Amino acid sequence: MQAKYPTGAVKYCTDTWLIWTENLVTAYINQHPHFGVTVTSPIEGCHATLKAYLQRSHGDLRDVFNRLKLFWSAQHTSIESTVAQQQLRPKHSVNIPLFTAVLQHVHTYALQKILQERAKLHAKGSRPSSSCTCSIQQSMGLPCYHTIWQRQQESGAIRLEDIHPHWYITRPELGPNSRLLVSHPLPILNPLPVQGR
């Protein structure tokens, strides 16, 4: 850009717009559902956990597969335990009338995010403006403070349909009209022989 355009134009862009890069990128990203994952580090963390479970970088395919089965089983057990604890003993901060309809059905992380959004309502002190430009509904699938205020006026509780199924403890089964395509598993073929260096 510096080679192609005049110095004044480049200076205008860097001094006026590029100082707001994080806000500009966030405004674009928050138009799409990402559920809070905007970096690759969670995937890298999963990859590191998997590699640590495998423990070695060499071995045959059968050994790797057997270790992966153990890993999946351990992960499944850990997730089931965490979910059961959330359902049996919800955190004190989310055990409030606002969440009576969703407490046993939605993960605690999502409920805490809703509480953060409700704090915006208390900070403003009165009825929110009628025009909603909040991005939390598109990006996270959670109600914004406008919806929270409306629910408090109606019934005093958030509805389950206000929350995206991504946050449900037990996700609903996909119906025949679902946009998610179910693909048939590919057959497992014999591995190719390893070529030496």
Over the stretch 146-173, which tens digit does the pLDDT of each residue have?
999 989 888 888 999 999 999 998 877 6
pLDDT at 175 over 80: no
pLDDT at site 63: 86
Instruction: Give the model confidence (pLDDT) of 57-110 as tens digits.
Output: 777 888 888 888 999 999 999 988 988 888 788 888 888 889 888 888 899 999
Instruction: Place 176 in a pLDDT band, splitting at 50, 70 and 90.
Output: low
Q: How confident is the model at residue 190 (pLDDT cuts 50, 70, 90)?
A: low
Q: List the alpha helices (DSSP H) in the chain.
A: 7-12, 21-29, 41-54, 61-88, 108-124, 136-139, 145-154
The pTM assigned to this predicted structure is 0.64
Which pLDDT score is estimated for 84? Answer: 85
Place of tokens 């993960």: 107
The pLDDT, as a whole number, for residue 182 is 36
Instruction: Let me know if 111 is exposed, middle or buried by CB neighbors in 10 A (0-12, 13-18, 19+).
Output: buried
Give percent of the chain with pLDDT exceeding 70: 85
Alpha-carbon distance of 144 to 121, in angstroms, equals 9
| pLDDT the model gives residue 46 | 84
Q: What pLDDT is stored for residue 155 in this prediction?
A: 85
